[in-house]
Amino acid sequence: MEAQNMEVAALVKKISGLHAAIAKLPSLSPSPAVDALFTELVTACVPPSPVDVTKLAPDAQKMREELIRLCSDAEGHLEAHYSDMLAAFDNPLDHLGLFPYYSNYINLSKLEHGLLVRYVPNLTAPSRVAFVGSGPLPFSSLVLASRHLPGTAFDNYDRCAAANDRARKLVRADTDLNARMSFHTADVANLTADELGVYDVVFLAALVGMAAEDKAKVVAHLGRHMADGAALVVRSAHGARGFLYPIVDLEDIRRGGFDVLAVYHPDDEVINSVIIARKVDAHANGAHQSGHAADARGAVPVVSPPCKCCKVEADAMQKREEMATKELSI
Protein backbone atom coordinates (compact mmCIF):
# COMPACT_ATOMS: atom_id res chain seq x y z
CA MET A 1 0.00 0.00 0.00
CA GLU A 2 2.89 2.35 0.80
CA ALA A 3 4.36 1.77 -2.67
CA GLN A 4 0.99 2.59 -4.24
CA ASN A 5 0.70 5.78 -2.20
CA MET A 6 4.15 6.82 -3.36
CA GLU A 7 3.20 6.05 -6.98
CA VAL A 8 0.07 8.17 -6.68
CA ALA A 9 1.96 11.04 -5.02
CA ALA A 10 4.57 11.01 -7.77
CA LEU A 11 1.89 11.05 -10.46
CA VAL A 12 -0.02 13.93 -8.87
CA LYS A 13 3.22 15.89 -8.57
CA LYS A 14 4.02 15.33 -12.24
CA ILE A 15 0.48 16.24 -13.36
CA SER A 16 0.55 19.37 -11.17
CA GLY A 17 3.76 20.48 -12.83
CA LEU A 18 2.31 19.96 -16.29
CA HIS A 19 -0.83 21.85 -15.27
CA ALA A 20 1.28 24.79 -14.13
CA ALA A 21 3.21 24.81 -17.41
CA ILE A 22 0.07 24.56 -19.55
CA ALA A 23 -1.65 27.32 -17.57
CA LYS A 24 1.24 29.67 -18.40
CA LEU A 25 0.94 29.18 -22.16
CA PRO A 26 -0.07 32.38 -23.97
CA SER A 27 -2.37 30.38 -26.27
CA LEU A 28 -3.76 26.85 -26.47
CA SER A 29 -3.88 26.85 -30.26
CA PRO A 30 -1.76 24.10 -31.87
CA SER A 31 1.97 24.88 -31.69
CA PRO A 32 5.15 22.92 -30.90
CA ALA A 33 5.03 24.03 -27.24
CA VAL A 34 1.33 23.22 -26.82
CA ASP A 35 1.64 19.88 -28.61
CA ALA A 36 4.66 18.85 -26.54
CA LEU A 37 3.03 19.60 -23.19
CA PHE A 38 -0.24 17.85 -23.99
CA THR A 39 1.59 14.86 -25.43
CA GLU A 40 3.53 14.59 -22.18
CA LEU A 41 0.29 14.93 -20.20
CA VAL A 42 -1.49 12.19 -22.13
CA THR A 43 1.56 9.93 -21.89
CA ALA A 44 1.53 10.35 -18.10
CA CYS A 45 -2.19 9.63 -17.77
CA VAL A 46 -2.70 6.65 -20.09
CA PRO A 47 -0.81 3.86 -18.23
CA PRO A 48 -2.74 1.91 -15.55
CA SER A 49 -2.55 3.65 -12.18
CA PRO A 50 -3.93 3.03 -8.68
CA VAL A 51 -4.97 6.69 -8.39
CA ASP A 52 -8.61 7.49 -7.60
CA VAL A 53 -8.99 11.09 -8.69
CA THR A 54 -12.31 11.44 -6.88
CA LYS A 55 -10.45 11.05 -3.55
CA LEU A 56 -7.67 13.57 -4.11
CA ALA A 57 -6.94 16.32 -1.59
CA PRO A 58 -8.90 19.57 -2.16
CA ASP A 59 -5.97 21.41 -3.75
CA ALA A 60 -5.31 18.52 -6.14
CA GLN A 61 -9.02 18.35 -6.97
CA LYS A 62 -9.02 22.03 -7.85
CA MET A 63 -5.95 21.52 -10.03
CA ARG A 64 -7.65 18.60 -11.79
CA GLU A 65 -10.81 20.60 -12.50
CA GLU A 66 -8.75 23.45 -13.96
CA LEU A 67 -6.70 21.01 -16.02
CA ILE A 68 -9.81 19.41 -17.54
CA ARG A 69 -11.01 22.87 -18.62
CA LEU A 70 -7.62 23.59 -20.18
CA CYS A 71 -7.77 20.24 -21.97
CA SER A 72 -11.25 21.10 -23.24
CA ASP A 73 -10.10 24.47 -24.57
CA ALA A 74 -7.03 22.94 -26.23
CA GLU A 75 -9.11 20.18 -27.79
CA GLY A 76 -11.49 22.77 -29.21
CA HIS A 77 -8.61 24.72 -30.77
CA LEU A 78 -7.08 21.54 -32.17
CA GLU A 79 -10.32 20.36 -33.75
CA ALA A 80 -11.08 23.79 -35.24
CA HIS A 81 -7.58 23.94 -36.72
CA TYR A 82 -7.85 20.54 -38.40
CA SER A 83 -11.45 21.10 -39.46
CA ASP A 84 -10.36 24.20 -41.36
CA MET A 85 -7.43 22.28 -42.85
CA LEU A 86 -9.67 19.44 -44.02
CA ALA A 87 -12.31 21.80 -45.41
CA ALA A 88 -9.75 23.12 -47.90
CA PHE A 89 -9.79 19.77 -49.76
CA ASP A 90 -12.35 19.01 -52.48
CA ASN A 91 -13.54 16.03 -50.44
CA PRO A 92 -12.51 16.49 -46.80
CA LEU A 93 -13.55 12.96 -45.83
CA ASP A 94 -10.77 11.51 -47.98
CA HIS A 95 -8.18 13.13 -45.72
CA LEU A 96 -9.42 12.46 -42.18
CA GLY A 97 -6.24 10.54 -41.46
CA LEU A 98 -4.36 13.83 -41.28
CA PHE A 99 -5.77 14.32 -37.79
CA PRO A 100 -3.19 12.89 -35.36
CA TYR A 101 -5.74 11.06 -33.20
CA TYR A 102 -8.00 9.77 -35.97
CA SER A 103 -7.20 6.12 -35.16
CA ASN A 104 -8.42 6.69 -31.59
CA TYR A 105 -11.83 7.73 -32.91
CA ILE A 106 -11.97 4.70 -35.18
CA ASN A 107 -11.27 2.41 -32.22
CA LEU A 108 -13.63 4.26 -29.86
CA SER A 109 -16.51 4.18 -32.36
CA LYS A 110 -15.93 0.47 -33.01
CA LEU A 111 -15.98 -0.13 -29.26
CA GLU A 112 -19.18 1.87 -28.68
CA HIS A 113 -21.01 0.20 -31.55
CA GLY A 114 -19.93 -3.24 -30.36
CA LEU A 115 -21.15 -2.54 -26.82
CA LEU A 116 -24.49 -1.24 -28.09
CA VAL A 117 -25.08 -4.33 -30.20
CA ARG A 118 -24.06 -6.61 -27.33
CA TYR A 119 -25.95 -5.01 -24.47
CA VAL A 120 -28.98 -3.26 -25.98
CA PRO A 121 -31.50 -5.77 -27.35
CA ASN A 122 -32.91 -5.25 -30.86
CA LEU A 123 -30.62 -2.32 -31.65
CA THR A 124 -28.65 -3.58 -34.62
CA ALA A 125 -29.77 -0.77 -36.93
CA PRO A 126 -31.16 2.33 -35.14
CA SER A 127 -33.04 4.63 -37.47
CA ARG A 128 -32.09 7.89 -35.78
CA VAL A 129 -29.22 8.87 -33.50
CA ALA A 130 -28.26 12.08 -31.68
CA PHE A 131 -24.73 13.11 -30.78
CA VAL A 132 -24.62 15.80 -28.10
CA GLY A 133 -21.43 17.87 -28.10
CA SER A 134 -20.30 17.05 -31.64
CA GLY A 135 -17.90 19.99 -32.09
CA PRO A 136 -16.20 21.31 -35.25
CA LEU A 137 -14.71 17.92 -36.13
CA PRO A 138 -17.46 15.33 -35.52
CA PHE A 139 -15.28 12.25 -35.98
CA SER A 140 -17.49 9.99 -33.90
CA SER A 141 -20.59 10.64 -35.99
CA LEU A 142 -18.60 10.42 -39.22
CA VAL A 143 -17.03 7.08 -38.32
CA LEU A 144 -20.21 5.57 -36.89
CA ALA A 145 -22.27 6.69 -39.89
CA SER A 146 -19.82 5.50 -42.52
CA ARG A 147 -18.49 2.30 -40.92
CA HIS A 148 -21.11 0.93 -38.54
CA LEU A 149 -24.54 2.50 -39.10
CA PRO A 150 -24.90 3.04 -42.87
CA GLY A 151 -28.66 3.46 -42.79
CA THR A 152 -28.92 5.72 -39.72
CA ALA A 153 -29.71 9.44 -39.64
CA PHE A 154 -27.44 11.49 -37.35
CA ASP A 155 -28.45 14.73 -35.63
CA ASN A 156 -25.40 16.50 -34.20
CA TYR A 157 -25.88 19.08 -31.45
CA ASP A 158 -23.41 21.71 -30.31
CA ARG A 159 -23.86 25.05 -28.55
CA CYS A 160 -21.34 26.72 -30.85
CA ALA A 161 -22.67 27.89 -34.21
CA ALA A 162 -19.14 28.28 -35.58
CA ALA A 163 -18.39 24.65 -34.71
CA ASN A 164 -21.47 23.50 -36.61
CA ASP A 165 -20.57 25.65 -39.62
CA ARG A 166 -17.16 23.99 -39.74
CA ALA A 167 -18.66 20.51 -39.36
CA ARG A 168 -21.13 21.01 -42.23
CA LYS A 169 -18.30 21.77 -44.62
CA LEU A 170 -16.74 18.37 -43.99
CA VAL A 171 -19.67 16.39 -45.44
CA ARG A 172 -20.53 18.73 -48.32
CA ALA A 173 -18.92 16.51 -50.99
CA ASP A 174 -20.32 13.20 -49.75
CA THR A 175 -23.85 12.75 -51.06
CA ASP A 176 -24.76 10.00 -48.60
CA LEU A 177 -23.43 11.57 -45.39
CA ASN A 178 -24.60 15.03 -46.39
CA ALA A 179 -28.13 13.62 -46.62
CA ARG A 180 -27.97 11.66 -43.35
CA MET A 181 -26.17 14.15 -41.11
CA SER A 182 -27.59 17.40 -39.76
CA PHE A 183 -26.11 19.94 -37.38
CA HIS A 184 -28.07 21.92 -34.80
CA THR A 185 -26.93 24.85 -32.68
CA ALA A 186 -28.61 24.19 -29.34
CA ASP A 187 -27.99 23.54 -25.66
CA VAL A 188 -29.13 20.05 -24.71
CA ALA A 189 -30.83 21.54 -21.63
CA ASN A 190 -33.28 23.29 -23.96
CA LEU A 191 -34.23 20.23 -26.01
CA THR A 192 -37.73 18.90 -25.42
CA ALA A 193 -39.35 15.47 -25.51
CA ASP A 194 -40.56 16.22 -29.03
CA GLU A 195 -36.91 16.50 -30.06
CA LEU A 196 -35.15 13.95 -27.86
CA GLY A 197 -37.98 11.43 -27.92
CA VAL A 198 -37.35 10.48 -31.57
CA TYR A 199 -33.90 8.99 -31.03
CA ASP A 200 -33.08 5.31 -30.62
CA VAL A 201 -29.63 6.23 -29.27
CA VAL A 202 -28.16 9.39 -27.74
CA PHE A 203 -24.40 9.80 -27.45
CA LEU A 204 -23.16 12.19 -24.77
CA ALA A 205 -19.68 13.61 -25.39
CA ALA A 206 -17.17 13.51 -22.55
CA LEU A 207 -16.89 17.30 -22.22
CA VAL A 208 -20.61 18.08 -22.08
CA GLY A 209 -21.05 19.06 -18.43
CA MET A 210 -17.49 19.11 -17.12
CA ALA A 211 -18.43 19.50 -13.44
CA ALA A 212 -20.09 16.47 -11.82
CA GLU A 213 -23.24 18.39 -10.94
CA ASP A 214 -23.53 19.75 -14.48
CA LYS A 215 -23.16 16.27 -15.97
CA ALA A 216 -25.82 14.96 -13.58
CA LYS A 217 -28.21 17.73 -14.69
CA VAL A 218 -27.66 16.87 -18.36
CA VAL A 219 -28.28 13.17 -17.72
CA ALA A 220 -31.43 13.95 -15.69
CA HIS A 221 -32.73 16.15 -18.53
CA LEU A 222 -32.14 13.37 -21.03
CA GLY A 223 -33.88 10.95 -18.70
CA ARG A 224 -36.97 13.15 -18.58
CA HIS A 225 -37.21 13.60 -22.35
CA MET A 226 -35.76 10.53 -24.10
CA ALA A 227 -38.08 7.73 -25.20
CA ASP A 228 -38.53 4.74 -22.91
CA GLY A 229 -36.13 2.01 -23.93
CA ALA A 230 -33.82 4.33 -25.87
CA ALA A 231 -30.08 3.81 -25.36
CA LEU A 232 -27.69 6.35 -23.86
CA VAL A 233 -23.94 6.16 -24.51
CA VAL A 234 -21.93 8.23 -22.03
CA ARG A 235 -18.21 8.87 -22.30
CA SER A 236 -16.35 8.95 -19.01
CA ALA A 237 -12.83 8.32 -17.72
CA HIS A 238 -11.12 6.04 -15.24
CA GLY A 239 -7.92 6.03 -13.21
CA ALA A 240 -5.34 8.65 -14.18
CA ARG A 241 -7.32 9.39 -17.34
CA GLY A 242 -9.62 11.28 -14.99
CA PHE A 243 -7.08 14.12 -15.14
CA LEU A 244 -8.02 14.56 -18.81
CA TYR A 245 -11.80 14.06 -18.79
CA PRO A 246 -14.62 14.13 -16.23
CA ILE A 247 -15.57 10.91 -14.45
CA VAL A 248 -19.27 10.10 -14.59
CA ASP A 249 -20.91 8.70 -11.46
CA LEU A 250 -23.02 5.64 -12.32
CA GLU A 251 -25.48 6.61 -9.58
CA ASP A 252 -26.13 9.90 -11.38
CA ILE A 253 -27.08 7.92 -14.47
CA ARG A 254 -29.40 5.69 -12.47
CA ARG A 255 -30.96 8.65 -10.69
CA GLY A 256 -31.48 10.22 -14.09
CA GLY A 257 -33.86 7.44 -15.04
CA PHE A 258 -31.60 4.88 -16.73
CA ASP A 259 -30.55 1.27 -16.26
CA VAL A 260 -26.76 1.00 -16.51
CA LEU A 261 -26.10 -2.00 -18.71
CA ALA A 262 -22.31 -2.07 -19.08
CA VAL A 263 -19.12 -0.12 -18.37
CA TYR A 264 -15.90 -0.40 -20.36
CA HIS A 265 -12.54 0.97 -19.21
CA PRO A 266 -10.02 0.77 -22.07
CA ASP A 267 -6.43 -0.16 -21.33
CA ASP A 268 -5.03 0.97 -24.69
CA GLU A 269 -4.73 4.26 -26.58
CA VAL A 270 -8.48 4.89 -26.38
CA ILE A 271 -8.76 7.42 -23.55
CA ASN A 272 -12.46 7.47 -22.72
CA SER A 273 -14.39 4.91 -20.75
CA VAL A 274 -17.78 4.02 -22.18
CA ILE A 275 -21.03 3.59 -20.25
CA ILE A 276 -24.01 1.94 -21.93
CA ALA A 277 -27.41 2.70 -20.39
CA ARG A 278 -31.06 2.41 -21.33
CA LYS A 279 -33.97 4.68 -20.45
CA VAL A 280 -36.19 3.03 -17.87
CA ASP A 281 -39.78 2.37 -18.92
CA ALA A 282 -41.62 4.33 -16.23
CA HIS A 283 -44.79 2.30 -16.79
CA ALA A 284 -43.28 -1.18 -16.71
CA ASN A 285 -43.34 -3.22 -13.50
CA GLY A 286 -43.70 -0.12 -11.33
CA ALA A 287 -40.34 1.30 -12.30
CA HIS A 288 -39.76 4.92 -11.40
CA GLN A 289 -38.03 7.73 -13.23
CA SER A 290 -35.49 7.88 -10.41
CA GLY A 291 -33.87 4.76 -11.82
CA HIS A 292 -33.81 3.04 -8.44
CA ALA A 293 -35.41 -0.03 -10.00
CA ALA A 294 -32.11 -0.64 -11.79
CA ASP A 295 -30.37 -1.27 -8.48
CA ALA A 296 -32.22 -4.54 -8.04
CA ARG A 297 -31.06 -5.95 -11.38
CA GLY A 298 -27.60 -6.99 -10.23
CA ALA A 299 -24.09 -5.70 -10.66
CA VAL A 300 -23.17 -3.76 -13.77
CA PRO A 301 -20.78 -5.77 -15.95
CA VAL A 302 -17.36 -4.15 -16.30
CA VAL A 303 -16.43 -5.67 -19.65
CA SER A 304 -12.78 -4.67 -19.76
CA PRO A 305 -9.53 -5.84 -18.15
CA PRO A 306 -9.29 -4.54 -14.56
CA CYS A 307 -6.84 -1.70 -14.08
CA LYS A 308 -4.66 -1.15 -11.01
CA CYS A 309 -7.32 1.04 -9.42
CA CYS A 310 -9.98 -1.65 -9.87
CA LYS A 311 -7.62 -4.32 -8.50
CA VAL A 312 -6.89 -2.24 -5.39
CA GLU A 313 -10.64 -1.80 -4.79
CA ALA A 314 -11.31 -5.50 -5.39
CA ASP A 315 -8.49 -6.59 -3.05
CA ALA A 316 -9.76 -4.25 -0.33
CA MET A 317 -13.29 -5.62 -0.69
CA GLN A 318 -12.02 -9.21 -0.54
CA LYS A 319 -10.10 -8.46 2.65
CA ARG A 320 -13.21 -6.89 4.24
CA GLU A 321 -15.25 -9.95 3.32
CA GLU A 322 -12.59 -12.29 4.73
CA MET A 323 -12.49 -10.33 8.00
CA ALA A 324 -16.28 -10.37 8.25
CA THR A 325 -16.34 -14.12 7.65
CA LYS A 326 -13.63 -14.64 10.28
CA GLU A 327 -15.54 -12.59 12.84
CA LEU A 328 -18.72 -14.59 12.20
CA SER A 329 -16.87 -17.86 12.72
CA ILE A 330 -15.52 -16.83 16.13
- One domain for residues 149 and 111: yes
Residue 58 sits in the same domain as residue 185: no
Same domain, 20 and 160: no
Shared domain for 64 and 114, answered yes or no, is no
Beta-strand runs (E) in the chain: 128-132, 153-158, 181-185, 201-204, 231-236, 258-264, 273-279
- Edge to edge, the sheet with strand 258-264 lists 181-185, 153-158, 128-132, 201-204, 231-236, 273-279, 258-264
Tell me: do 196 and 248 sit in the same domain: yes
Whether 281 is in a domain gets the answer yes
Instruction: Please tell me whether residues 36 and 118 are part of one structural domain.
Output: no
Closest CA to 107 of 254, 246, 284, 271: 271
Rounded CA separation 57/76 (Å): 29
Do 166 and 38 fall into the same domain?
no
Measuring CA to CA, how many Å separate 260 from each of 199, 253, 292? 18, 7, 11
Half-sphere exposure of 310 (CA within 13 A, CB side): 13
Q: Are residues 80 and 193 both part of a single domain? A: no
162 vs 173: CA distance, rounded Å: 19
Q: Answer yes or no: do 244 and 122 share one domain.
A: yes
Q: Is residue 184 part of a domain?
A: yes
The structural domain count of the chain equals: 2
Per the structure, the complete domain to which residue 64 belongs is given by 1-87
Nearest Cα neighbor of 246 from 204, 215, 218, 270 is: 215
Last residue of a domain, one of 54, 87, 120: 87
Q: What is the CATH number of the domain that holds 109?
A: 3.40.50.150
Residue ending a domain, among 30, 56, 87, is: 87
Could you read off the pLDDT tens digit of each residue along the chain, which spans 330 residues? 688 889 999 999 999 999 999 999 999 999 999 999 999 999 999 999 999 999 999 999 999 999 999 999 999 999 999 999 999 999 999 999 999 999 999 999 999 999 999 999 878 789 999 999 999 999 999 999 999 999 999 999 999 999 999 999 999 999 999 999 999 999 999 999 999 999 999 999 999 988 889 999 999 999 999 999 999 999 999 999 999 999 999 999 999 999 999 999 998 889 999 999 999 987 665 444 444 434 434 566 666 654 444 443 444 444 544 554 444 444
Q: Which residue from 60, 85, 147 is spatially nearest to 111, judged by alpha carbons?
A: 147
Three-state SS annotation for 81-123 = HHHHHHHCCCCHHHHHHHCCCHHHHHHHHHHHHHHHHHHCCCC
Cα–Cα nearest to 260, from 220, 222, 199, 301: 301
Stated pTM of the model: 0.86
